[in-house]
Amino acid sequence: MQGQIPKPLIDSDSQPFWEGVREGKLLLQKCGDCERYIFYPRIICPHCFSEHMTWEETSGKGKIHSYTVIHKAPPAFKGEVPYVVGVIDLDEGVRMLSRIIGDRNDLSIDQPVSVVYEKIDDDLTLPYFKVTGA
Amino acid sequence: MIKYVWKGVKGMKSERIAAIVGAAESELGHLPGRNVLQLQAQAAKRALDDAGFTKDDVDALFTTASWGHFPQLMLGEYLGITPKYTGGTNIGGSSFESHVAHALVGIQAGLFDVALITYGSTNRTSGNRPSAAGLTLSYEEPFGIPSPVGHYAMAAQRHMYEYGTTSEQLAEIAVATRKWAALNEKAFKREPVTIEDVLNSPMIAEPLHLLDCCLITDGGGALVVASAEAAARAKKRPVWILGHAETQTHNTVTHMPDLTVTGAKDTGRRAMEMAGITHDEIDVVQVYDSFTITVLLTLESLGFCKPGEGGDFVSGQRTAPGGEFPLNTSGGGLSYCHPGMFGIFLLIEAVRQLRGECGERQVKDAKISLVNGTGGTLSSTSTVILGRD
């Protein structure tokens, strides 16, 4: 037993996001006033302080902004090394941290990726990303 | 309050409001059986002795910690200090540069005369690390990113992609820092390393190897900051706080505005403007070296070189003893000590350099030092400019 994967906090900010992931949808908040997408979800827009936050289903497409291959992992992830964590620039203009799956020798910054849904256990599904064909 | 006008060095215009008059470490290294309060008590006593002050001179207390709730209350009680002013900004490893700045501000406002700033941790022996995912960290921790090394690794990867920076160039920093540590008898790691040693050390998070990463040690440190009036009573000559600035840019890495630029771009400029100095007047630089990439990004952000030129800037051992750019002369977090938050040790070394107390590793005639703390995952920076008469 190497410890539990840290579970995300499900609260009134985050619940729609994590429920969406479980249903195979990548939902992002969009501000009803300044019309910018944001990530992570909040009760107020960090750009214009509007409280009119709406939820939209997104394409789940983006490109790799940066990444790292992890060789020394936190305890809960030790059995998985080496694996790739990256930051993804989504087409909607927000950045998300995630796992990038697939052949790590073929990875490079700016490669296009799209979301896949990884069921970790009965309670937890995470949005991962994989490189899409050119 | 009497206002003194700086006349020490050309161009410098800032007032002499407050000075660091005491600086010391506790025991450092691997310290089984020691606790965080003991280490801070040791460091506090030594720093007050260094100043020629006693506990009763202290009327402001600053500390921060990751070891528990209310560290100021627990520490104040343990030390028997009932301060008129309590500070405890926690922005990670750069907190203590901010504490020095905030002590100056409190002195400037006439709230107190003598501030004691302490830090202590037993990270090596107790592995003091937060673990539970919480609030906005829920968008990072479930993905298995080791914090903070994974975040710094992604910054390094991006810098390599944009500018062609190499692992060899990052290794230059680790090698040069170890050469300084060899000249510091308090340093944890003193045996020489080569660029090949760094590149052959185990990969932690690509492109960062084990020897690109700071140590994990036990230890504590303390500083005494005094008003100009109180500094006149101190045993040693004052090290004046000439400029300071702080900022925070993000907490989660997805909110870092540019993975290759730190807040030092802003805080370095503002602190130097306040001090009225330019880059070429700085004699010795201490910057947080949690990882080799931290140093490279910080040097660029502070404007010692242009964006993307950091790799060339540190090549050829330019930052080593005898090099053109003396940097992290204690041996840094990479080789001297790193008990969780290193910022206070940057300041201790800067004070010693400006007093001429550094023996073999002394930078000749050092008059002005720039100290830059970086906290979190490249999240906060706090810059302090120190100078002597």
Query: For residue range B130-154, what is the model confidence (pLDDT) as tens digits?
Result: 544 578 889 999 999 999 999 999 9
What is the number of other CB atoms lying within 10 angstroms of the CB of residue B295? 31
Contacts 24+ apart (CB under 8 A), B161-166: B161/A66, B161/A108, B161/A109, B162/B260, B162/B308, B163/B260, B163/B307, B163/B308, B163/B311, B164/B311, B165/B296, B165/B308, B165/B310, B165/B311, B166/B311
Distance of CA B206 to the CA centre of its chain: 25
In a domain, A130, yes or no: yes
Counting as low any pLDDT under 50, the low residues of chain B are 1-11, 131-132
Cα dist. B155→B145, B250, B344, B377 in Å? 13, 14, 24, 10
One domain for residues A132 and A66: yes
| Structural domains of chain B sorted by starting position, each given as residue range(s) with its CATH number in brackets | 4-127+214-387 (3.40.47.10)
Q: Which value, to the nearest 10 degrees, does the dihedral of the CA atoms of residues B332, B338, B343, B345 take?
A: -60
Q: Around B16, how many Cα atoms within 13 Å sit in the side-chain half-sphere?
A: 22
The answer to whether the CB of B71 falls within 8 A of the CB of B40 is no
One domain for residues A101 and A75: yes
Q: How confident is the model at residue A134 (pLDDT cuts 50, 70, 90)?
A: low
Distance of CA B366 to the CA centre of its chain: 18
Distance to chain A for B170, nearest Cα, Å: 16
Nearest CA in chain B to A129: B143
- Mean of the per-residue pLDDT values of chain A: 94
**pLDDT value at residue B7:** 45
The answer to whether the CB of B329 falls within 8 A of the CB of B355 is no
Residue A104 structural domain: 59-134
Measured between CB atoms, does B146 come within 8 Å of chain A?
yes
**pLDDT value at residue A131:** 95
Sequence-distant (≥ 6) Cβ neighbours of residue A15 within 8 angstroms: none
**pLDDT value at residue A87:** 98
Distance to chain B for A44, nearest Cα, Å: 14
**Which amino acid is residue B231, in one-letter code?**
A
Q: Decide if B150 and A126 are in contact by the 8 Å CB cutoff.
A: no
**pLDDT value at residue B135:** 86
In a domain, A131, yes or no: yes
One domain for residues A52 and A74: no
One domain for residues A41 and A82: no
ipTM: 0.94
**pLDDT value at residue A3:** 67
Q: How many domains does chain A have?
A: 2
Nearest CA in chain B to A71: B204
One domain for residues A125 and A92: yes
Domain CATH for A78: 2.40.50.840
Measured between CB atoms, does B140 come within 8 Å of chain A?
yes
**pLDDT value at residue A1:** 40
One domain for residues A47 and A69: no
Rounded Cα–Cα distance for residues B97 and B101 (Å):
6
One domain for residues A13 and A78: no
One domain for residues A16 and A73: no
In a domain, A1, yes or no: no
Q: Which two three-digit tokens encode residue B218? A: 């036990």
Q: What burial class does residue B2 get, using C-beta atoms within 10 Å of its C-beta: 0-12 exposed, 13-18 middle, 19+ buried?
A: exposed
- Provide Rg for chain A, Cα atoms: 16
Measured between CB atoms, does A83 come within 8 Å of chain B?
yes
**pLDDT value at residue A103:** 87
In a domain, A85, yes or no: yes
Cα dist. B169→A104, B80, B155, B291, B316 in Å? 24, 48, 15, 13, 9
In a domain, A18, yes or no: yes
In a domain, A116, yes or no: yes
Q: Which two three-digit tokens encode residue B173? A: 């920093």
**pLDDT value at residue B169:** 98
One domain for residues A134 and A124: yes
Q: Decide if A68 and B157 are in contact by the 8 Å CB cutoff.
A: yes
One domain for residues A67 and A133: yes
Q: What mean pLDDT do residues A52-79 have?
A: 97
**pLDDT value at residue B11:** 46
One domain for residues A92 and A131: yes
In a domain, A4, yes or no: no
Distance to chain A for B205, nearest Cα, Å: 4
Measured between CB atoms, does A99 come within 8 Å of chain B?
yes
In a domain, A39, yes or no: yes
One domain for residues A93 and A119: yes
Any alpha helices (H) in chain B, and if so which ranges?
36-51, 71-79, 95-108, 123-126, 149-163, 167-181, 195-200, 228-231, 264-275, 292-302, 310-314, 343-355
More confident residue, A5 or B192: B192
